[in-house]
Chains A and B, each alone.
Chain A
Amino acid sequence: MARGALEGLRVVEFGGRPGAAYAGKLLADLGADVIKVEPLEGDPARRHGPFPGDRPDPEASGLFLFANANKRSVAVDGARPAGRAIVLDLVERADALVAGGMPAELEAAGLRWADLEARNPRLVAAVVTPYGLTGPYRDRPAHDINVAAAGGVSLGIGAPDREPLKLPYDQTGFQAGLVAAFAVLASVLGRTRTGRGRLNDISEAEVWATIHTGPGVVAWLFSGRLRRRSGHRLLGLPWPHTVLPCRDGYFALQASERRHWEAFVEMIGSPEWTRDPKYRDRVRANEEHGDELDAHLAPWLAARTRAEIFELTRRYRIAGAPLLAMDEVVGHEHLAARGFWAEVSHPRAGRLRYPGAPYRLGRTPWSLRRAAPLLGEHTREVLREVLDVDDARWDALAADGVVRP
C-alpha cells in the first residue's frame, strides 16, 4: 500500500470532546500515528451509539467506530499521578497534541502549555474548548447546541414563529476538528523553519462565529440586515431558494443568478406568474411573497418525481437536487462508482461500511487501515514502544490500577 501523506507524524489525542476526535481522525486517515488516550472507563463516544440492534456496547458505538478508525487506544487512569505522568511522557515524545475539553479539565490533566512547551519545544498543540482559553466565557460549560447558538448558526434555522433549530448531530465537533487539524498541519509545516512548535487555541463558538457566520457582520453594520429564519426558504437571496414537496419526496431549488432564473422560467414552461411585476425584485419577493411563489410552483413539482426534476435542472443548468434520505445516500450509484464507501472488520461490530475518503490524494492516498481500537487495545504496545516501559514496570502499573493488565 502506498504511504500516507502524514506517515511518521506522531499525534497524541486527549479528551472526550468530539472536535479532538475528528481532528485525530483527519490526521490518522492520512497516515499519522494517532495515539488516543482514553480514561479507563472509555471515551464518552463509546457510550453514545448508534449501537447494533440498539444494544449498548462500549466496543460497538457507531460514532466511536467512525471517529476512531486508524487510531491506537491507550487507556490510563489520568486521575492518578502515575497515569498523568504517562500522558505527559507521551506528549513529550509526540509531534503534535490534539486535546479537547473544558480548560479546567485539561489543566487538571497537566496539559498546561508552559509545561508542555518546556518539555518539548517542538510540540504543536491544538486545544479545542467551547469558548477558547481566554475571555469571560472560558469556563462556561457547553454542548454542541450551546456553541452553535453562541456562534450564530441556530437563529437562522427553523420556522419564523417557532423555536430555532440546530444542525443535526454534533456539527460543532466536525467544524472545530477541521480547524484543529488544519492548525496542526500548518504549524508542523512552519516548524521546519523555526524549529519551534506552537499552541493553537481553538474556540468552538468562534469557529462558527468566523468561517460560518462571520461574513454577515459587515453587511449588518452598514445596512442593519440581520438574518431571519424562514422555514424552508433562505431569505436574503432571490426566490427561488426553497425546499418543496414533489411527487415522491422533497426537492431543493435555487436560481440566484439572472441566467439561472431565465433557465428556471423556461424549465417550468414560462407561466404567466413569473412575469408579474411584484416579483421582479426577487430578493424582496422572497421575503414578501414567498408562500405565494411557492404555491405557484407547487403544481408543477407535484406532477413530477425527484428524478424527473433533477434531470430537468441538470439539463437547464440550474441548481437543484432531490433531498435524499440515508438509504438513498448509502445506495447511490455515483458514490459506488467512485468507491467512496470503505469497509473494515471489527471484532465486536463486524464488517461494516463507513464513510470513506472525502478527498483522494493521488500519491499518498487516504486509507482505512484498521478499525477503531478496543478500549486500551494498544496500551502495552505503545508504552513499550514509545516510553520503553519494561515488563516489571508494566506489572507495577497494572497492579496499581493505573492501566488495565
Chain B
Amino acid sequence: MTLPLEGVRVVDFGWVWAGAVPGQLLADLGAEVIKIESHKRLDFMRRGRPIIGDKLDPEQNHMFHNVNRGKLGLTVDLNDPRGADLVRRLVARSDAAIENFAPGYLSRVGLDYAALREVNPSLVMISMSAAGGDGPLRDVRGYATIMAALAGIDYLVGYPGERPLGSQQAYADPNASLHAAVALMAALVHRQRTGEGQHIDLSQWETTIVTVAEAVMDYVMNGRVAAPQGNRYAGLAPCGNYPCRDADSWVSIAVGDEAQWAALVAAMGSPEWALGPEFRTAAGRLENLFALDRHLAAWTRGFGSAELVERLTRHGVPAAPLMDHEARYFDPHYRERETYVEIDHPILGREVVYNVPWRMNDVPRRITRRAPFLGEHNDYVCKEILGLTDEEVARLVAEEVLR
C-alpha cells in the first residue's frame, strides 16, 4: 500500500519545535518534505544539548532527531539573493510550504506568500507566527513560554488555592503544530478539488487559547476568572495522582460515575470510611474531595504502582501509573504497539524515535529515514529537482550560498 501523502512535496522552513512538527507529520505519511536550513543561523535545536557527551554537535540533539526525521535537508543562505532564488524555484515545483519565522522576515528576503504565489499560484502555504500576521503584538516572539502565559493556561497550572506554576513544558508548541497540520491538510483537500492554493495565517497564541475554552466559557457566561486547577476536573471525584510505596511513584485515579465509584470501593475492600454518607453521592464526593483524597492516598501508599493499577483496572476503575521515559520505553503496551522505534544513525549507531503517532490499518507503522545532516540533500535538490550542473552547485558552495 502507498502512504497517504506520497507525491506531495513540501518546502519546510519550519524550525525549532512548533515549526518542525507539521513537516514531520507530513513526512511520516509519505510526503517529500525538504527542510530548509541556514548554516549561518542554525536551528536552535542543533545548538542544544547533545545526545552523547557534553560537546555541542549540530548533528546530535534528541529533539531535532525526532521532529525532523523523515525529511530531506537543504542548507542554504536565504539572506543571499542567489539562495532565495534557489528556494523560489524549489517552491515552484512543490505543493506546500510551512514557515514559522517572525512576521516580516520572509518578505525581506523575497520569499513571502505574495512572492511565492507568483511562481506557484496553486501553492498552499502556512505561516505559524506567535501572534498572527497582524495586531499590536504581531512582533511578539514565538516561544511556548510566551504562548502559554498569554493564553491563560499557565495561570491555571498549580495546586488549588496556591500560586500559578506555569505549564512546565512546551505544551503550546506541539499543540500549535497539530493545529497547523490540520489547517494545511484542509487547504490541500480544497486544492485537490479546485486547484486553488491559499495562504494560512496561524496564531500560536490563538491555538493555545482554544485549549482553555472551558475557562473562556465560564468567564463569558458567569464572569468567573478561573484559578489554578490542580488535578480537579468537573464531574470527576476523586480525580488525582496518588502516592505509592516507592519513591516518587504515583498512580492516577479518576471516578466519573456511580459504577466507577462502586468499583473503587470494591477494589479497596469496602472500607468503612468509603461507605459513609458523605461519599455516597457524586455531589458529596465533590464536596468532601479533600477528605476523600486523604483517605485514598492513605490506602494507595500501601501498594507498589504496578500491583495497584492491576487491582484497580481489574475492578473497572480508571487508573494508570505516572510513567517516565524509562517506564514508557519498557512498557509492554507501548512495546506491542511499537510506539517507539529504532532507526539507524551514523553517529549513534541505532537511535530511538517516537513512531508515527497513530496506527493505520493498511500501511505499516514505521519510520524509514533519520533526520538530515546539514546540507545532506543539497545535491539531490539542486541537481535532480532544479537541474543545476555540478559546476553551478560547486560555485554556490564555494561562495557559501550553499553549505
Q: Is B290 an interface residue when CB atoms closer than 8 A count as contact?
A: no
| Residue contact B252 to A148, C-beta cutoff 8 Å | yes
Q: Is A391 an interface residue when CB atoms closer than 8 A count as contact?
A: no
B window 344-359: CB within 8 A of A: 348, 351-359
| Residue contact A211 to B159, C-beta cutoff 8 Å | no
Q: Is A163 an interface residue when CB atoms closer than 8 A count as contact?
A: yes
Q: Is A319 an interface residue when CB atoms closer than 8 A count as contact?
A: yes
Please give the distance in Å from A318's CB to the nearest CB on chain B.
Answer: 8
How far, in angstroms, from A223 to B241 measured CA to CA in the complex?
Answer: 28
Contact with A along B112-135 (1 / 0, CB 8 A): 000000000000001000011011
With A241-B145, A362-B198 as given contacts, are A144 and B362 in contact (CB-CB < 8 Å)?
A: no
| Residue contact B354 to A217, C-beta cutoff 8 Å | yes
Chain A residues within 8 Å of B199, by CB: 362
| Residue contact A220 to B329, C-beta cutoff 8 Å | yes
How far, in angstroms, from A122 to B29 measured CA to CA in the complex?
Answer: 19
How far, in angstroms, from A218 to B348 measured CA to CA in the complex?
Answer: 10
With A134-B337, A185-B186 as given contacts, are A169 and B211 in contact (CB-CB < 8 Å)?
A: yes
Q: Is A296 an interface residue when CB atoms closer than 8 A count as contact?
A: no
Chain A residues within 8 Å of B362, by CB: 196, 198-199
| Residue contact B150 to A53, C-beta cutoff 8 Å | no
Q: Is B5 an interface residue when CB atoms closer than 8 A count as contact?
A: yes
Please give the distance in Å from B215's CB to the nearest CB on chain A.
Answer: 5
| Residue contact B150 to A361, C-beta cutoff 8 Å | no
With A51-B221, A189-B188 as given contacts, are A322 and B211 in contact (CB-CB < 8 Å)?
A: no
Q: Is B235 an interface residue when CB atoms closer than 8 A count as contact?
A: yes
| Residue contact B324 to A226, C-beta cutoff 8 Å | yes
A window 22-46: CB within 8 A of B: 26-27, 30
Contact with A along B96-122 (1 / 0, CB 8 A): 000000000000000000000000000
With A326-B152, A358-B206 as given contacts, are A203 and B337 in contact (CB-CB < 8 Å)?
A: yes
Q: Is B44 an interface residue when CB atoms closer than 8 A count as contact?
A: yes
| Residue contact B180 to A359, C-beta cutoff 8 Å | yes
Chain B residues within 8 Å of A219, by CB: 49, 51, 62, 325
With A218-B66, A243-B166 as given contacts, are A330 and B216 in contact (CB-CB < 8 Å)?
A: yes
Contact with B along A253-283 (1 / 0, CB 8 A): 1101100000000000000000000000001
| Residue contact A245 to B140, C-beta cutoff 8 Å | no
Q: Is B328 an interface residue when CB atoms closer than 8 A count as contact?
A: yes
Residue among A168, A170, A251 having the largest count of chain B Cβ atoms under 10 Å: A168
With A183-B358, A206-B357, A211-B357 as given contacts, are A326 and B226 in contact (CB-CB < 8 Å)?
A: yes
Q: Is A187 an interface residue when CB atoms closer than 8 A count as contact?
A: yes
| Residue contact B221 to A254, C-beta cutoff 8 Å | no
| Residue contact A361 to B200, C-beta cutoff 8 Å | yes
How far, in angstroms, from A206 to B359 measured CA to CA in the complex?
Answer: 10
A residues contacting the other copy or chain, number (CB 8 A):
153
Contact with A along B223-261 (1 / 0, CB 8 A): 111100111011110011111000010111110100010
| Residue contact A355 to B241, C-beta cutoff 8 Å | no
| Residue contact A164 to B358, C-beta cutoff 8 Å | no
With A323-B164, A324-B152 as given contacts, are A179 and B358 in contact (CB-CB < 8 Å)?
A: yes
Interface residues on B, range: 35 or more
B window 67-97: CB within 8 A of A: 67
**Chain A contact surface mostly:** mixed
Of chain A, the residue at the smallest CB distance from B254 is: A143
With A190-B3, A221-B352, A222-B52 as given contacts, are A175 and B66 in contact (CB-CB < 8 Å)?
A: no
| Residue contact B186 to A361, C-beta cutoff 8 Å | yes
Chain A residues within 8 Å of B205, by CB: 335
Contact with A along B304-336 (1 / 0, CB 8 A): 000000000100111111111111110011101
| Residue contact A149 to B250, C-beta cutoff 8 Å | yes
| Residue contact A135 to B333, C-beta cutoff 8 Å | yes
| Residue contact A215 to B192, C-beta cutoff 8 Å | no
Which residue of B169, B213, B252 contacts A157 across the interface (Cβ within 8 Å)?
A: B169
| Residue contact A202 to B358, C-beta cutoff 8 Å | yes
| Residue contact A153 to B169, C-beta cutoff 8 Å | yes
How far, in angstroms, from A202 to B339 measured CA to CA in the complex?
Answer: 12
B window 383-398: CB within 8 A of A: none
Of chain A, the residue at the smallest CB distance from B133 is: A360
Contact with B along A296-338 (1 / 0, CB 8 A): 0000000000000000001001111111111111101111011
| Residue contact B240 to A210, C-beta cutoff 8 Å | no
How far, in angstroms, from A214 to B6 measured CA to CA in the complex?
Answer: 25
Chain B residues within 8 Å of A147, by CB: 320
Chain B residues within 8 Å of A168, by CB: 153, 156-157, 212, 215, 226, 229
How far, in angstroms, from A337 to B160 measured CA to CA in the complex?
Answer: 33
Chain A residues within 8 Å of B49, by CB: 219, 236, 283
A window 133-152: CB within 8 A of B: 133-137, 140-152
With A175-B175, A321-B150, A352-B221 as given contacts, are A145 and B231 in contact (CB-CB < 8 Å)?
A: yes
Residue among A178, A325, A326 having the largest count of chain B Cβ atoms under 10 Å: A326
| Residue contact B357 to A5, C-beta cutoff 8 Å | no
Chain A residues within 8 Å of B319, by CB: 140, 146
Chain B residues within 8 Å of A27, by CB: 186
Q: Is B196 an interface residue when CB atoms closer than 8 A count as contact?
A: yes
How far, in angstroms, from A211 to B321 measured CA to CA in the complex?
Answer: 19
With A135-B337, A211-B174, A333-B136 as given contacts, are A227 and B325 in contact (CB-CB < 8 Å)?
A: yes
Contact with A along B142-160 (1 / 0, CB 8 A): 0101101111111111110
How far, in angstroms, from A183 to B209 measured CA to CA in the complex?
Answer: 23
| Residue contact A218 to B163, C-beta cutoff 8 Å | no
| Residue contact A209 to B187, C-beta cutoff 8 Å | no
Contact with A along B41-79 (1 / 0, CB 8 A): 000100101011000000000110111000000000000
Among the stretches A61-69, A71-79, A287-295, A377-385, the one at the interface with B is A61-69
| Residue contact A217 to B325, C-beta cutoff 8 Å | yes
| Residue contact A324 to B357, C-beta cutoff 8 Å | no
Of chain B, the residue at the smallest CB distance from A141 is: B318
How far, in angstroms, from A133 to B359 measured CA to CA in the complex?
Answer: 9
Q: Is A216 an interface residue when CB atoms closer than 8 A count as contact?
A: yes
Given contacts A145-B252, A234-B168, 10 further A-B contacts (CB under 8 A): A5-B186, A62-B221, A152-B327, A166-B252, A170-B233, A203-B358, A217-B329, A217-B353, A226-B324, A338-B132
**Can you list 7 A-B pairs, Cβ within 8 angstroms, ordered by A?**
A49-B234, A52-B222, A145-B240, A158-B165, A216-B62, A251-B149, A357-B206
Q: Give 7 closest A-B pairs by Cβ, nearest first.
A: A214-B354, A190-B4, A62-B217, A178-B178, A185-B185, A321-B149, A149-B252
